[in-house]
Structure 1
Amino acid sequence: MPATASEPARPRGRIRWSARLRLTLMYGALFLVSGIALLGSTYLLVASSPANKNTRITAWRAEDPLHDGRDRTQTQIAHVVSERRSAELRTLLTESGVALAGMTGVSVALGWFMAGRVLRPVRTMADKARRISERNLHERLAVTGPADELKELGDTFDGLLSRLDAAFEAQKRFVANASHELRTPLTLQRATIEVALAEPDAEAAALREVCTRVLAAGESQERLIEALLTLASSQRGLDPKRSGPVDLAAVTRLVLRDREEPRAGVALAPAPTHGDAALVERLATNLVENTQRYTPEDGWIHVSTGTSAGRPYLHVANSGEAIPQDRIPVLYQPFQRLGRRGAGEGHGLGLSIVAAVAAAHGAVITTVPGPEGGLAVTVAFPPSPPSPSGATAGSERRQVVGERPGAGERPGERVVSAGK
């Protein structure tokens, strides 16, 4: 069976063309080609050397005055010299070829050894990666050695494992928290019903009160399940079929219409954008309800919409308990709260849904502590796509620094929002 789905099954007896074998053959082939080129060059240089070319032979005999005898002797000597030179060249070619064959074998052996040394970190990483599963994602490859490409590959894989480990841990915490939140109303329902059944002579009023409690617990479960579904759908991203032009002012006005809030100062200017109107409404609803829940009776709430540097924004701020800057990111995690949950304080999913909806729309959230406690949250959406005949003015994305406008503003308060 192959180790992975992409690895085909290898028949028995066939050579496994591993990277080490391919590198070894490549080293050997390069050495052989270079050796043949060197041998050929040496042979040609020796063959064309002046010492073996245009040799002039002179023979003279004192007792033989005949010219023909000298010519015959010179021819014989030249023939012997030529045969000797050819024999030496053949010997050079043969011995060099034998030496080249031997050195090629040595180079293949050395190439196999060096390829193994070079690829040893890869085998180590493969062995460690094969042992890592969802149960031991905390382990790392921890490749040592010089800062080369292989160590960079190992460090990159370790970074991937760290992100996967964090994602798995976050998923486990989410499932555990969701299970706990769902179990609490179920436990309450069960206890309420058991108490009612334990009373044999229960009156209709008492049973009605029990039914009211059970109904309230069921509504709490419905709200939690709806919030979980909204969070899941937001994290999947936008559905193009459900996306279209959205005016933040109209959505916020719709959210505030059914919520009578005397503490709120509202300043709604047109803020057209593009997205899922239902998700944007959920984002605005969660921000408004969050401020209503945590603003004291004598506090203030401010809600505004508008456009700054071409980016439509929704700004919600309130007074209340002071919140440290370093604790703000915790609020955007599911089921996370700064304190213990009291009655009617929700499930800790409001701001996490806000973050998911904003991420799905490509919006930027800026959250800072308010000057009188509470939070000042600004969600800057991407500008609405221009119509075919419209201008593209205002589409530039840059850092936005805007005063909080409208009623309920506090002197000196500024909101800084970084655009994408």
Structure 2
Amino acid sequence: MELTFEHSQKIADGHTPQAWHSPDQICQVLYTDATGRIYSVDTETPFGNFADRTFTAPLLAAPDTGARHLTIAYLPRMNLWANWLTGNTHRQAVFLLKQETNKYLVDGSMTFSDDDPGVSLSLTLENPAGIIAAEGTTEVPPGTRVSVYFRIGDSSRIALGQYYLDRIVTAVGNPRVDLTARNVTGKLLKDQTFDEDNTFSGTVTAVLVEMLEDAGVVNHRVESVGATINIEFPPNMSYFDGLQSVISTRNGWQMREDASGTIIIGSPAYVQLFMPPGTYSFERGRDCFGREVTRDDRETYSRVCVHDREFAVKAWRDVQFIETWNLPRKKTLYVEAPEGTTQAQAAAKAEYLAGRLADVGVIESFVAPFRPQIQPGDAAEIAEPDRPLPRLLGTITQVGFRFGRSGFFTDFTVDSGGVVRKPRIRDLIEQISGRRDVGSAKIS
């Protein structure tokens, strides 16, 4: 017997590969790696085209190690079963296939912020004959995962996140149902507490990974460092606050959640490997409309001083504002540098801070056509009729999406004090001062 394959392509390095093809033209491959962990990759196959596909990065599909004899069984349009052996234990995972609700969508919204990886999703759906939820039963109980994608025409879909339902509201006589949901950060990390499993020891990386997996987060990327930590948390502290406590011991580290629901923790450069910032250009009055401009001098300063604790080392610099600010001459920002900072280092840091502070104080809010690829941390530049060249406004700090029958819009806020690929002013001050806030956690 001869088997001839029309298309051949290497997907990944692994063992016991299993694949299935969904009704909405998605091909998913499950396989085990060298340690027996089960990973998943998938790709779109538009119109059934399997030639030269680009697969997603591998995602951890199950937390087991040493998995063997991985097999799957697929009942088209209904369920998918995955079976494997771990040690002497047989495992079976049942996946209920997606329920397409596109045709029921009335309106939806979500908001992303640069200082909080938690995201909330709100949806209003048509609910004919109680097909989504009725008085006595619901097809989408709290905890149901909602995957949000955007596609126009036959374009590739853009992921807008993975969410878990918190609330379903139906009313007698109302032909619609309202749903609210949160992403992995909100549902798994902010809702759960450590309880009695509240002590961790090892490298910072290993501790963060253990905490994430204890909380049920299987898809994560944590930067590898050799520094060690012993830490104890109050039993009633949330995993989110605990993670932030550990992260705060590493200068500049941050936690983000990408559109696939993967938690990413590490330095800005590490996070940007997986969520690289971009620069987006808009034309005022054409594809971008300003809604609000706030000029506030409460967080602006006319001078900056970087000093050590005893003021034996100190460096002052004046701030030369780009905007015309009528500030008091000695409104000074004092930033304490770590012990051992030299006069030259203090002067260099003061010079850099003064340059960054020159842009602070202007926050602009805009509404634009739907741009699902925009994320907090991107930069925005705008072309205006009276300016020959586009003007860089600053860093996008908040992004909101509104979609549905009333239209598709992107709301975003730009902070003039932000510079793409550079830390925000408040983050910069914390880095210079070496400030480490670990809340009520105990580090030994």
* TM-score of the aligned structures, taking structure 1 as reference length: 0.21
Richer in helix (by share): 1
State the structure with more CA Rg: 1
